[in-house]
């Protein structure tokens, strides 16, 4: 095994092995568990750094293993997978630190961190998947690894949320599987290739290909929370904050969105999808989801629920960008995969801090919270402004390219109003929070002050992660055109997809 | 003598059918075990009738099979009876 | 080197006799026998790995007169799976049966059962198949009665009657074939067989007889009480191996022997019954109040999948698509063997720990028995057919085959069966992870480890390493 054939496998194993070991550690082995977690996260990041350097130099990395005739497990690094791998391994490291602080002293931590590692293993695996079968294997593994995390608290509400989550995702998984088998029947083993592989099929198969596309999109749309398949997401927010952060920013919804990008670009091919008339349908569904999620977010008083509906809305920007034919739309969608992740994880970290430190769960309890917890609230504000699309935060870059892409694709007539409406709605549900936090005085004592203010407003392990991710959101916006920036990499992806 | 062969063969089929019916019908367990033995005997008869070769001599293979079959049937019957007895004891103990 | 075939059958038989002679050494003798037999079974597997088959005529009698043994890839795969599950069951049983209890009865019967299984896989003629079927049935009934309670005895009795009637049917078919073709040797018969009334009669009698033993819906009624009331190691053996051996025999008969007589329509009948088994068994498993009953109904369902392959194999011409389906069938069968063995052994641990197996009252199990709960979850992955598991590869081939053969209607059944399986597995896990206080009384490693190993074999090992299965079983039943 050379590095070229083993690196993708090593990246997957770097979280799988610590995860499996952690399961069997006794609850009290706190120090060992923390070291293993950090070791895994740092090793993965180092391996990913090698991968990024290699891919940018034009090296190829691929691990392949036969499962059965016509079924291969293929881990392959191309520009798109590298983008997602970097995002997930970077945010995993930050979230691990956060989770260690967040779960300090709570029960079942071995179980939690075991599944937490499996969850990231599955995410990285599906990021590196080189064909549809491998993608499905890790997609289902992700479902299995996240279910216990959602149910972790063991309350009836948590178990109910987890059960609904499971019903949605397994049902979607079944349709995805059927679509993949059908597709393999028509086209043979389906590898992810720039520009897609289905263009060459004879025209009489096109009706079948449309049905398959529908099956695949429904299967992926469940995790990506596209309306009307989004019902599980607001209920799953009963999970502990680090889980919500990971679910909303990196793992689950991202896996769905990433899958949509993969299928459109690397299986069907964006041009072929447009020719089948499917691209517009996808765009309309995405637009409906964007507006619906934002409207629903307006009415939520529970902070995490508001953020959850915001995710429903924001993740569909990725699908929308995919649906805008032309490199600019592609750039906007792909870059939002990263930007939304960084910003949303910041928001969930901050929400977790409010709940853990002061017992604040509702928007109306947040009056004056900026003075009590300035660091967290600055981070929250940066991310919220980014979500609205205010420059120079990263979210602006995404929306700018989406707008350009819409003009370019000749769909400006309805896409631009959707973007504007969504931004107005984003402002309508985020700005009142910021107003309360910064400009209103605290009117009542905090519901339950668990962690008193000392030198820091809360513990370091809780404070630094949102500060770091908020800074990232700012930096990726400010230095959007620097080499190795998300925008730069998304441009590379777009140029390869369109063969420019 | 084809008539002899046919007579025994048909008798075997009749015994088999009666026996299977008795085994499947509701009734005391013992009766069903006996019925099963009747059905088995019917099958053995079919085998032996089929082996009948008149002047040319009989085919030995079915005879060997039937002997083995009888041993199997005896063991199965023994097991059934042991079970029936065990069940009776268990029912009495309760 | 074909002597190994004899040893695979003789070793457990000798072990059974030895444990009768020295009942006090039952545990040591049992595990030693299991290890030796596993070695022999793996030896047979190694011999057929290159796609050949091995034959052995006992005592040098010519084929047709003496007892012939033969192993091809499919036989060797089942032989090896059986040996691995049997070793796990044996190790578990050393700790499961308290000293002085019914342990003395267990070992001889269990080793006899194993000998009968191996002989069934390897038999090259129909009458020997009949004898192995009877041996298997009797050993299984006696084991099922080992629990001793009234429910167990009544279930065993019902099991016995079904088994006896089933063997009668099989023997009737054997008689017809012998009287028509003058041979009992599988190879000779297969070459001589024609599609006529006698052949059809034999096919119907033999298939119905064996299907009753395989508990294919709607002949499954005896299985749940018999499997749910036996001691855990026995349930594991019955559910993972015994019904599977009967299913194996149906495959053999249909693919190897009755090739010229069976029609696509006949395959459709088996497939429909299989689909009924999948839906009904899964639904009943979802409603089961007890863990072992859940596992037993899940066996009814999982056997159904195996028969759903038959209508596809009946219409597919020899070639890659048919081979893919055949391999999928075997992957599915092996995966279920490992997973169900694991689930029943884990259920035994749960039952011993909690004193009952009512699913509603299993709260706290996850905390008290983490390894066993992990085993149940892994076995569940294989039962649902999620990746990585042999069942995932099997279901993929089943659905791909259904599309390939234009038999779309099986696909909703497979998907619905999988979702129902997910529902009953997660219902169980939900209760196990629920709140509840339990004494932390750790088990000996021999109770929990064998089940965990089986669960890992069903998922990780078969899910990622099953590729050699396809070349192994590829040539089966291809018209010569």
Contacts of C142 in chain B (CB under 8 A): 79
Residue in B16, B29, B47 closest to C157 by CB? B29
Q: Check pLDDT > 80 for residue B94.
A: no
Predicted local distance difference test score (pLDDT) of residue C64: 64
* Nearest partner of A308 among A360, A237, A249, judged by Cα: A237
Helix axes A241-249, A132-150, angle to 10 degrees: 160
C172 and B61 in contact by Cβ < 8 A?
no
Could C397 and A68 be called an inter-chain contact, meaning their C-beta atoms sit closer than 8 Å? yes
Q: Is the pLDDT of residue C476 over 80?
A: no
- Residue found under tokens 């992955």: C381
**How far is B35 from chain C, CA to nearest CA, in Å?**
10
pLDDT at site C101: 63
Low-confidence ranges of chain A (pLDDT < 50): none
The two structure tokens encoding residue C378? 């892994």
Q: Cβ of B50 and C178 within 8 Å?
A: yes
Could you say which residues from 41 to 80 on chain B have a Cβ atom under 8 Å away from some Cβ of chain C? 43, 46-47, 50, 61-62, 65, 68-69, 72, 75-76, 79-80
pLDDT of residue C478: 43
Helix A460-478 with A374-388: angle, nearest 10 deg: 30
Q: How many CB atoms lie within 10 A of CB C263?
A: 13
User: What span, in angstroms and rounded, lies between the C-alpha atoms of C77 and B86?
Assistant: 38
C1 pLDDT exceeds 60? no
Residues in C closer than 8 angstroms to A69, CB to CB, are 320, 323-324, 327, 467, 470
Residue C475: pLDDT over 70: no
Which residue from A337, A341, A349 is spatially nearest to A303, judged by alpha carbons? Answer: A349
DSSP state at residue A75: E
| Cβ within 8 Å of residue C17, ≥6 positions away | C108
As a whole number, mean pLDDT of residues B28-55 equals 88
Contact A154 C434 (CB under 8 A): yes
Q: What is the pLDDT of residue A279?
A: 92
Dist. CA A385–CA A470, nearest whole Å: 11
Cβ count near C264 (within 10 Å)? 15
Structural domains counted in chain B: 1
Query: Looking at beta carbons, which residues of chain B come within 8 Å of C65?
Result: 61
Which residues from chain C sit within 8 angstroms of residue B43, using beta carbons?
Answer: 168, 171-172, 175
Q: Which tokens belong to A7? A: 């690196």
Three state DSSP letters for A15-70: HHHHHHHHHCCCCCCHHHHHHHHHHHHHHHHHHHHHHHHHHHCCCCCEEEEEEECC
Task: Give the position of tokens 């342990």.
Answer: C103
For the record, the structure tokens of A273 come out as 């999808």
- Report the distance separating Cα C460 and Cα C455, nearest Å: 8
CA atoms within 13 A on the CB side of A468: 14
**pLDDT tops 80 at residue C436:** no
State pLDDT tens for residues C354-411: 888 899 988 888 888 888 999 999 999 999 999 999 999 999 999 999 999 999 999 9
Give the phi and the psi of residue A155 in degrees, each rounded to 5.
Answer: -75, 155
Task: Quote ipTM for the complex.
Answer: 0.92
Share of chain C above pLDDT 90, in %: 65
- Cβ within 8 Å, pair B76-C150: no
The string over A72-95, giving b where at least 16 C-beta atoms fall within 10 Å of a residue's C-beta and e elsewhere, is bbbbbbbbbbbbbbbbbbbbbbbb
Range of the domain at B54: 2-93
At residue B70 the predicted structure's pLDDT band, cuts being 50, 70 and 90, is very high
Q: Find all residues with CB under 8 Å of C154, minimum gap 6, and list them.
A: B87, C225
Residue A228 in tokens = 């009307």
- CB B40 to CB C168 under 8 A? yes
When pLDDT is cut at 50, 70 and 90, the band that residue C480 belongs to is very low
- Other beta carbons less than 10 A from residue C11's beta carbon: 24
CATH number at residue B46: 1.10.287.3510
B85 in contact with C, Cβ within 8 Å: no
Mean pLDDT, chain C, rounded, equals 90
Phi, psi of C444 (to 5 degrees): -65, 150
Q: CA-to-CA distance for C17 and C30, rounded, in angstroms?
A: 11
pLDDT score, position C2: 66
**Mutation target vs C (from A65, A122, A181; most C CBs, 10 A cutoff):** A181
CB A148 within 8 A of CB A111: yes
Q: Write out pLDDT tens, residues C144-198.
A: 998 888 889 999 999 999 999 999 999 999 999 998 998 888 888 988 888 899 9
Cα separation, B26 vs B74, whole angstroms: 23
Nearest Cα to C252, choosing from C335, C163, C190, C321?
C190
Q: How many CB pairs under 8 A join B and C?
A: 79
Confidence of residue C479 (pLDDT cuts 50, 70, 90): very low
Q: Is C480 helix (H, G, I), strand (E, B) or coil?
A: coil
- Min mean pLDDT across A121-135, B13-27, C280-294 is at B13-27
pLDDT of amino acid A312: 92
Cross-chain residue pair B76–C161, CB shorter than 8 Å? no
Domain ranges of chain C: 265-480
């Amino acid at each position: 095994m050379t590095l070229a054939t083993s690196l993708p496998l090593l990246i997957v194993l770097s979280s799988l092995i610590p995860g499996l070991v952690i399961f069997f550690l006794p609850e009290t082995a706190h120090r060992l568990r923390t070291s293993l977690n950090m070791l895994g996260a740092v090793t993965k990041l180092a391996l990913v750094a090698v991968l990024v350097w290699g891919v940018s130099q034009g090296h190829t990395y691929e691990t392949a293993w036969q499962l059965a005739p016509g079924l291969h497990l293929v881990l392959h690094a191309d520009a798109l997978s590298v983008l997602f791998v970097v995002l997930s391994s970077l945010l995993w490291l930050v979230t691990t630190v956060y989770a260690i602080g967040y779960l300090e002293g709570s029960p079942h931590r071995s179980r939690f961190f075991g599944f937490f590692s499996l969850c990231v293993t599955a995410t990285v695996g599906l990021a590196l998947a080189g064909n549809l079968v491998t993608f499905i294997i890790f997609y289902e593994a992700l479902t299995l690894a996240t279910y216990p995390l959602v149910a972790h608290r063991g309350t009836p509400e948590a178990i109910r949320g987890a059960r609904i989550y499971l019903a949605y995702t397994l049902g979607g998984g079944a349709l995805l599987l059927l679509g993949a088998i059908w597709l393999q029947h028509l086209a043979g083993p389906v590898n992810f290739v720039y520009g897609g592989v289905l263009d060459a099929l004879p025209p009489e198969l096109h009706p079948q290909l449309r049905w398959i596309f529908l099956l695949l999109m429904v299967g992926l749309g469940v995790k990506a929370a596209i309306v009307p398949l989004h019902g599980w997401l607001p209920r799953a927010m009963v999970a502990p904050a680090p889980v919500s952060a990971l679910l909303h920013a990196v793992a689950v919804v991202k896996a769905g969105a990433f899958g949509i990008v993969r299928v459109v670009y690397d299986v069907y091919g964006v041009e072929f999808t447009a020719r089948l008339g499917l691209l517009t349908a996808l765009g309309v569904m995405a637009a409906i989801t964007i507006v619906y999620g934002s409207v629903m977010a307006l009415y939520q008083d529970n902070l995490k629920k508001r953020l959850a509906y915001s995710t429903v809305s924001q993740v569909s920007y990725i699908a929308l960008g995919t649906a805008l034919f032309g490199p600019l739309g592609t750039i906007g969608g792909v870059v939002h995969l990263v930007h939304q992740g960084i910003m949303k994880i910041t928001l969930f970290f901050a929400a977790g801090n409010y709940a853990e430190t002061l017992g604040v769960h509702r928007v109306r309890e947040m009056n004056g919270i900026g003075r009590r917890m300035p660091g967290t609230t600055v981070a929250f504000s940066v991310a919220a402004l980014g979500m609205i699309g205010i420059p120079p935060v990263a979210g602006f870059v995404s929306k700018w390219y989406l707008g350009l892409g819409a003009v370019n694709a000749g769909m400006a007539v309805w896409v631009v109003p959707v973007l504007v409406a969504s931004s107005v709605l984003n402002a309508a549900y985020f700005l009142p929070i910021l107003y309360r936090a910064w400009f209103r005085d605290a009117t009542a004592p905090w519901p339950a002050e668990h962690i008193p203010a000392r030198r820091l407003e809360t513990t370091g392990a809780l404070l630094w992660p949102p500060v770091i991710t908020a800074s990232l959101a700012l930096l990726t916006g400010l230095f959007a055109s620097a080499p190795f920036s998300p925008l730069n990499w998304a441009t590379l992806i777009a140029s390869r997809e369109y063969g420019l | 003598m084809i008539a002899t062969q046919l007579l025994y063969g048909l008798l075997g089929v009749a015994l088999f059918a009666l026996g299977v019916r008795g085994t499947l019908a509701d009734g005391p367990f013992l009766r069903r075990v006996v019925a099963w033995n009747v059905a088995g005997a019917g099958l053995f008869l079919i085998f032996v009738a089929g082996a009948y070769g008149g002047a040319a001599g009989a085919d030995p293979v079915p005879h060997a099979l039937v002997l083995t079959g009888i041993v199997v049937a005896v063991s199965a019957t023994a097991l059934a009876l042991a079970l029936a007895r065990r069940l009776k004891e268990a029912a009495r103990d309760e | 080197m074909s002597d190994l075939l004899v040893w695979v059958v003789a070793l457990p038989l000798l072990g059974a006799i030895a444990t009768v002679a020295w009942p006090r050494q039952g545990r040591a003798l049992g595990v030693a026998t299991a290890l030796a037999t596993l070695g022999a079974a793996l030896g047979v597997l190694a011999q057929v790995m290159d796609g050949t088959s091995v034959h052995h005529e006992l005592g040098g009698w010519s084929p047709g007169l003496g007892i012939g043994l033969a192993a091809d890839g499919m036989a060797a795969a089942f032989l090896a799976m059986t040996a691995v599950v049997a070793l796990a069951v044996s190790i578990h049983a050393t700790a499961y049966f308290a000293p002085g209890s019914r342990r003395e009865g267990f070992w001889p019967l269990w080793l006899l059962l194993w000998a009968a299984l191996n002989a069934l896989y390897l038999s090259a003629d129909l009458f020997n198949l009949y004898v192995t079927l009877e041996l298997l049935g009797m050993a299984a009934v006696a084991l099922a009665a080992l629990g001793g309670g009234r429910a167990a005895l009544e279930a065993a009795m019902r099991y016995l009657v079904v088994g006896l009637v089933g063997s009668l049917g099989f023997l009737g078919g054997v008689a017809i074939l012998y009287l028509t073709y003058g041979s009992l040797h599988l190879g000779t018969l297969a070459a001589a067989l024609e599609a006529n009334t006698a052949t059809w009669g034999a096919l119907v009698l033999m298939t119905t007889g064996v299907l009753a033993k395989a508990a294919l819906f709607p002949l499954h009624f005896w299985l749940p009480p018999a499997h749910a009331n036996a001691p855990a190691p026995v349930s594991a053996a019955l559910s993972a191996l015994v019904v599977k051996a009967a299913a194996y025999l149906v495959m053999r008969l249909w693919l190897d022997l009755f090739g010229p007589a069976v029609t696509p329509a006949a395959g459709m009948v088996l497939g429909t019954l299989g689909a009924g088994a999948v839906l009904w068994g899964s639904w009943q498993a979802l409603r089961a109040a007890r863990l072992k009953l859940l596992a037993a109904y899940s066996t009814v369902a999982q056997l159904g999948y195996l028969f759903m392959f038959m209508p596809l194999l009946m219409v597919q011409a020899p070639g890659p698509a048919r081979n893919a389906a055949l391999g999928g069938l075997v992957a599915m069968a092996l995966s279920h063997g490992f997973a169900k063995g694991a689930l029943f052994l884990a259920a035994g641990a749960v039952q011993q720990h909690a004193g009952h197996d009512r699913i509603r009252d299993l709260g706290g199990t996850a905390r008290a028995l983490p390894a066993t709960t992990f085993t149940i979850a892994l076995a569940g992955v294989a039962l649902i057919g999620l990746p990585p598991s042999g069942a995932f590869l099997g279901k993929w081939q089943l659905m791909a085959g259904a599309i390939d053969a234009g038999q779309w209607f099986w696909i909703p059944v497979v998907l619905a069966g999988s979702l129902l399986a997910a529902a009953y597995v997660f219902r169980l896990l939900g209760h196990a992870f629920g709140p509840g206080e339990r004494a932390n009384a750790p088990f000996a490693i021999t109770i929990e480890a064998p089940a965990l190993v089986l669960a890992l074999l069903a998922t990780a090992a078969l899910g990622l390493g099953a590729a050699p299965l396809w070349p192994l079983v590829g040539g089966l039943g291809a018209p010569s």
